[in-house]
């Protein structure tokens, strides 16, 4: 039996490491148990061939919150972003091509090769997305208010959200469309060039296992403009040293805050006693106790494989079994 911790985090993906570092920053004694010999999960750099290090899953960043970069002082631990400029190159069968990037004048010139109308519309399209992002982006780091709650804190948060939504004015209906519709409807409304629409639609389907005509893809498209690179919104960048540059910096920051990160420590079981998760057991049988246990593994692994189904309510288990894992 190992020592008693305030919190154990199962898994050292970037979300597990962020959780661990913030808990340690709040004075908690934290243990991270990582399955592999390297931290990072899908946000990792590995030497796949001798002498060549590559990002083996995720490869570009913009969605890592600036608050996290600042709070955990990631730059002090080697984190640095290199903006993608240009950001995309789309070749077409007729020999033409479309180059897009943070350089707005270049982007407009490139789009004008296919449509003068679209070149003129593009800055207004981007400005509209930014206005909607101003509403949605702050909610990414908020605890969502419960809509059915009567607690003043929840009602206040809901009221604030409603007020900000109202302030969108004519953009409010566009915001609803972005949050619920398919990407094709949005892109068809703004642009006529198939080349531009096809290029922009990649952001709507990436990792989504969907076509741009399926409801919900407008949000995926929009989600990709909410991040930033070195303070510039909507710009994506490479991380120096590959995506492992994020998780190595997170791990260093977490360790400096006192987090104990144990690699090669696959968890086989979360032990529940008297209705509470009390400890975790590794595959080699070592057990660690904690007041709180958080899992960075997905709900399928966490609730269906690491826990005994008898410890969980039936309707909850049913909901977990119904999660659709077909996309990335
Ligand atoms: C191929 C691919 C490409 C992607 N490209 C991008 C991209 O370019 N840009 C982008 O922003 N996002 C991208 N994503 C998405 C992004 O990488 C993931 O959303 C993100 O890395 C998930 O982080 P996480 O910490 O939530 O989970 P994960 O990274 O999945 O981490 C979970 C961790 O838990 C560990 N674990 C699981 N079970 C156990 C156990 N029993 N015991 C101990 N540890 C355990 C795992 O080993 C892993 O380290 C991509 C995803 C994939 C799959």
pLDDT for 17-61, tens place per residue?
A: 999 999 999 999 999 999 999 999 999 999 999 999 999 999 999
pLDDT at site 2: 61
DSSP-assigned letter for residue 79: -
Is the same domain home to 126 and 193? yes
Per the CB < 8 A criterion, the answer to whether 214 and 10 are in contact is: no
Residue at which a domain ends, from 217, 235, 253: 235
Distance from the CA of 108 to the center of ligand 1, in angstroms? Answer: 36
Per the CB < 8 A criterion, the answer to whether 134 and 169 are in contact is: no
- Say if strands 276-282 and 267-273 run parallel, antiparallel, or are unpaired: antiparallel
Q: DSSP of 205-235, one letter per residue? A: HTTT---TTSTTHHHHHHHTTS-EETTEET-
Is the same domain home to 22 and 70? yes
Is the same domain home to 49 and 137? no
In a domain? residue 324: no
Is the same domain home to 231 and 253? no
The predicted model gives 109-136 an average pLDDT of: 94
Is the same domain home to 113 and 162? yes
pLDDT at site 18: 98
Packing angle, helices 244-256 and 14-25, rounded to 10: 20
pLDDT at site 27: 98
Is the same domain home to 143 and 206? yes
pLDDT at 5 over 70: yes
Distance from the CA of 139 to the center of ligand 1, in angstroms? Answer: 22
Nearest residue by C-alpha to atom 6 in ligand 1: 58
Per the CB < 8 A criterion, the answer to whether 82 and 75 are in contact is: no
Range of the domain at 279: 4-81+240-297
d(CA 128, CA 131): 5
Nearest CA to 66 out of 114, 137, 124, 158 is that of 137
Per the CB < 8 A criterion, the answer to whether 260 and 4 are in contact is: no
In a domain? residue 190: yes
Distance from the CA of 40 to the center of ligand 1, in angstroms? Answer: 7
Nearest residue by C-alpha to atom 36 in ligand 1: 11
The H-assigned helical ranges of 43-151 are 66-71, 104-112, 116-136
Nearest residue by C-alpha to atom 30 in ligand 1: 41
pLDDT at site 139: 87
The two three-digit tokens of residue 142, written as one number: 């908020």
Q: Which atom of ligand 1 lies closest to the CA of 43?
A: 21
Is the same domain home to 229 and 169? yes
The predicted model gives 76-102 an average pLDDT of: 96
pLDDT at 231 over 70: yes
pLDDT at site 91: 97
Is the same domain home to 168 and 230? yes
Distance from the CA of 194 to the center of ligand 1, in angstroms? Answer: 34
Per the CB < 8 A criterion, the answer to whether 289 and 278 are in contact is: yes
Q: What is the CATH number of the domain that holds 55?
A: 3.50.50.60
Is the same domain home to 117 and 228? yes
Give the H/E segment covering residue 176: helix 171-180
pLDDT at 227 over 80: yes
Is the same domain home to 266 and 158? no
Is the same domain home to 225 and 245? no
In a domain? residue 196: yes
The two three-digit tokens of residue 247, written as one number: 């998780």
Which residues does 133 contact at the CB level (< 8 Å), separation at least 6? 222, 225, 226, 233
**Cα Rg of the chain (Å, integer):** 23
- Say if strands 228-229 and 232-233 run parallel, antiparallel, or are unpaired: antiparallel
pLDDT at site 1: 59
- Ligand 1, CB within 6 Å, residue ranges: 10-16, 33-36, 41-43, 57-61, 63, 266-267, 296-297, 301, 328
Per the CB < 8 A criterion, the answer to whether 197 and 186 are in contact is: no
pLDDT at site 325: 85
Nearest residue by C-alpha to atom 21 in ligand 1: 42
Q: Residue 76, preceding bond cis, omega within 30 degrees?
A: no
In this structure, the chain runs to a length of 328
Distance from the CA of 205 to the center of ligand 1, in angstroms? Answer: 19
Q: Where are the beta strands (DSSP E) in the chain?
A: 4-10, 30-33, 45-49, 52-55, 81-83, 88-91, 97-100, 228-229, 232-233, 237-239, 260-262, 267-273, 276-282, 287-295
In a domain? residue 98: yes
pLDDT at site 216: 93
pLDDT at site 140: 87
Task: Return the best residue to mutate from 22, 31, 32, 42 for the ligand 1 pocket (most ligand atoms within 8 A of CB).
Answer: 42
pLDDT at site 261: 98
Is the same domain home to 180 and 147? yes
The predicted model gives 139-158 an average pLDDT of: 88
The predicted model gives 137-152 an average pLDDT of: 87
Give 122: exposed, middle or buried? Use CB within 10 Å, 0-12, 13-18, 19+. Answer: buried
Tell me the three state secondary structure of residue 77. helix
Task: Return the best residue to mutate from 37, 41, 236, 326 for the ligand 1 pocket (most ligand atoms within 8 A of CB).
Answer: 41
Q: Average pLDDT of the chain? A: 94
The predicted model gives 90-111 an average pLDDT of: 96
Which residues does 304 contact at the CB level (< 8 Å), separation at least 6? 317, 320, 321
pLDDT at 138 over 90: no
Tell me how many domains the chain contains.
2
Tell me the backbone φ, ψ of residue 4, rounded to 5 degrees.
-90, 130
pLDDT for 242-289, tens place per residue?
A: 999 999 999 999 999 999 999 999 999 999 999 999 999 999 999 999
In a domain? residue 313: no
């Amino acid at each position: 039996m190992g020592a008693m911790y305030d919190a154990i985090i199962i898994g050292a993906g970037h979300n597990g490491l962020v959780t661990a570092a913030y808990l340690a920053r709040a004075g908690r004694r934290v243990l991270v148990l990582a399955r592999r010999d390297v931290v990072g999960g899908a946000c990792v750099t590995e030497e796949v061939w001798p002498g060549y290090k590559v990002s083996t899953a995720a490869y570009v960043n913009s969605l890592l919150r600036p608050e996290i970069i600042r709070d955990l002082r990631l730059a002090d631990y080697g984190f640095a972003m290199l903006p993608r400029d240009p950001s995309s190159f789309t070749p077409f069968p007729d020999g033409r091509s479309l180059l897009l990037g943070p350089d707005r004048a270049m982007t407009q010139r490139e789009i004008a090769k296919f449509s003068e109308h679209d070149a003129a519309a593009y800055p207004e399209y981007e400005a509209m997305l930014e206005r909607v992002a101003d509403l949605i982006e702050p909610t990414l780091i908020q605890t969502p208010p419960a809509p059915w709650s009567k607690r003043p804190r929840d009602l206040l948060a809901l009221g604030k959200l409603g007020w900000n939504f109202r302030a969108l004015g004519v953009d409010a209906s566009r915001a609803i469309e972005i949050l619920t519709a398919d990407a094709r409807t949005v892109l068809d409304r703004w642009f006529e060039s198939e080349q531009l629409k096809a290029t922009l639609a990649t952001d709507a389907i990436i990792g989504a296992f969907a076509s741009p005509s399926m409801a919900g893809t407008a949000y995926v498209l929009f989600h990709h403009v909410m991040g930033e690179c070195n303070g510039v919104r909507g710009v994506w960048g490479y991380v120096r040293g590959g995506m492992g540059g994020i998780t190595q910096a997170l791990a260093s920051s977490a360790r400096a805050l006192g987090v104990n990160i144990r690699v090669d420590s696959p968890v086989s079981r979360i032990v529940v006693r008297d209705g509470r998760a009390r400890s975790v057991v590794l595959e080699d049988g070592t057990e660690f106790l904690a007041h709180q246990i958080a899992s960075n593994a997905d709900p399928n692994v966490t609730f269906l494989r690491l826990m005994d189904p008898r410890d969980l309510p039936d309707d909850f288990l049913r909901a977990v079994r119904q999660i659709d894992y077909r996309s990335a």
